[in-house]
Structure 1
Amino acid sequence: MPVKVLIVEDNPVARSFLARVVRESFSDELKISEAADLREARQAIGWTAHGGSAVPDDPYKLILLDLELPDGNGMELLTELIGYPATRIVTTLYSDDEHLFPTLQCGADGYLLKEDRFEVLVEELQKIVRGQPPLSPAIARRLLSHFRSDASPDDVASGGSAFVSSRAPSAGRSAPLDHERLTPRESEVLTYLSKGFTIKEIANLMGIKWFTVNDHIKSIYKKLNVSSRAEAAVLASKQGLV
């Protein structure tokens, strides 16, 4: 079954460009859909955050979303999609704090600047397969500067624990590990993560799509109340899970 991708962008030239970036980034069979505004995006997704539709059997696994759309701000859709099983990447021209940080707080899993070169965008988007958040170089530098007092440079440069899963609680608030919350599949993924395998390698070992592995990792982080693979591996080791 093809991996479903949705590009939400009002500029047709930019939509075409982003579609080429996506096709170049992944070897999976893809089914790319496009939406020019929030209304079309909501219709395509068929998801209502508050008391709405159930997640379909074949949801979108990757959504690229512009912030400025003819009928509203992309952050509205990001907020609505909390709980929807897709990796949500903002693609925008804005690199200022006023757009960056509210966007991440609304649930974005990455932040790419459309002005970056084609090769840069491909390289950043491919980071999803390695379990890292796609961040344009200028955005990564801004985050490093902003969080220098709260996180080590290694954390931010490698994707940082705070943004691998934008909804994951910080390690400082971690609760006791309850491994019984994990499904057998999640436990298997955690074992591979703890051994240092990449998302793509885990997908090959388990015979599943890497987007599915990414979904399992997000669920593991949420259930174990951690925000990076290192934290998950340490907690799992202490509990004798791996």
Structure 2
Amino acid sequence: MSAPIRVLLVDDQALVRAGFRIILESEPGIVVVGEAADGAAAIRQASLLQPDVICMDVQMPGMDGLTATRAIVADPASRAAVLVLTTFDREDYLFAALQHGASGFLLKNSSPEDLVAAVQVLARGDALLSPEITRRVISRFASGALSGPADAVPTPDVLRPEPPAVRALTDREREVFELIALGLANAEIAARLYLGEATVKTHVSKVLQKLDLRDRIQAVVYAYEHGIVVPGSAQQR
């Protein structure tokens, strides 16, 4: 029998933490090992408890969830995957958290089943970024409407040139990469390119390997930073 998934809950509202605890601990194989009410406490608890997954709020008094995520992911001793719980009105935080290593994003109005599934996905070492969230962020980024921290989002005039690694992708891999960057899931990519899902999965793995990226989330960020996603592309697809 595998060890239970260890979860740390981070939110400044005690009622929210209590609700998440009830939802998660009702699922066999998940245990909530601790709670924190701000980013600084989250960093301490992450180091002490070594959770597998951290459910991280963003807007909290004191240290926010973005700063805490950056510190936790940067800690070589940490094994935790960070699941950011977000709302659409703060896409600036969402994109910045992407850049600083969060492994997944979930809307706060998601269902209990979605929360459980997200924790399980991250615990397996996968990344979770729903196509709905990806497309919304792409649209905002392409329009130049993001307004986060100055160092969080590259503006169009400072995008780096397309790196050699991208040029080394095959034509099919480049197509798959662009569709990943636009938030399409494997099934959607398969339908768009008339391929089997297993074939798409293989292409995705090769793209991540060739670009030295950890997961699909890093692929989205990479695409933004290097101009693979351009203004209007999110609407044209």
TM-score range, shorter chain: 0.5 to 0.7
TM-score (ref. length: structure 1)? 0.52
Structure 1: how far apart are the matches of 2:101 and 2:128?
A: 14
The one-letter code sitting in structure 2 at the alignment partner of 1:38 is G
Query: Does 2:17 correspond to 1:15?
Result: yes
The residue number in structure 2 matching 1:37 is 38
Q: 86-95 vs 134-143, which deviates more? A: 134-143
1:73-88 equivalences under 5 Å are: 73-81=64-72, 82=74, 83=76, 84-88=78-82
- Deviations along 1:144-187, one digit per CA (max 9) or x if unpaired, are 65799x8443663337xxxxxxxxxxxxxxxxxxxxxxxxxxxx
> Residue 72 and residue 31 in structure 1: after superposition, are their counterparts in 2 closer, same or farther (change >3 A)?
closer
> Residue 2 and residue 128 in structure 1: after superposition, are their counterparts in 2 closer, same or farther (change >3 A)?
closer
Structure 2: how far apart are the matches of 1:139 and 1:99?
A: 13
Superposed displacement of residue 87, structure 1: 0.8
Structure 2: how far apart are the matches of 1:227 and 1:127?
A: 15
- Deviations along 1:94-144, one digit per CA (max 9) or x if unpaired, are 444312111111111011111223233334444336654233563133256
Unmatched runs of 5 consecutive residues or more in structure 1: 48-57, 160-195, 197-220, 230-242
Structure 1: how far apart are the matches of 2:113 and 2:94?
A: 22
- Deviations along 1:203-227, one digit per CA (max 9) or x if unpaired, are xxxxxxxxxxxxxxxxxx79x9344
Kindly tell me the number of residue pairs found equivalent between the two proteins: 161
Say which SS state the counterpart of residue 139 (structure 1) adopts.
helix
> Residue 228 and residue 93 in structure 1: after superposition, are their counterparts in 2 closer, same or farther (change >3 A)?
closer
The residue number in structure 2 matching 1:52 is none
Structure 2: how far apart are the matches of 1:39 and 1:153?
A: 37
Say which SS state the counterpart of residue 30 (structure 1) adopts.
strand
Structure 1: how far apart are the matches of 2:23 and 2:184?
A: 23
TM-score (ref. length: structure 2)? 0.53
Q: 113-122 vs 124-133, which deviates more? A: 124-133
Say which SS state the counterpart of residue 29 (structure 2) adopts.
coil
Structure 2: how far apart are the matches of 1:92 and 1:108?
A: 12
1:23-102 equivalences under 5 Å are: 23-24=25-26, 27-46=28-47, 59-81=50-72, 82=74, 83=76, 84-102=78-96
Query: Does 2:133 correspond to 1:139?
Result: yes
Contact 1:7/1:64 (<8 A) preserved = yes
Structure 2: how far apart are the matches of 1:36 and 1:138?
A: 28
Q: CA RMSD in A?
A: 3.9
Query: Does 2:187 correspond to 1:157?
Result: no
Say which SS state the counterpart of residue 122 (structure 2) adopts.
helix
Structure 2: how far apart are the matches of 1:227 and 1:124?
A: 18
The residue number in structure 2 matching 1:113 is 107
Contact 1:8/1:37 (<8 A) preserved = yes
Unmatched runs of 5 consecutive residues or more in structure 2: 143-173, 187-200, 202-207, 217-237
> Residue 131 and residue 29 in structure 1: after superposition, are their counterparts in 2 closer, same or farther (change >3 A)?
closer
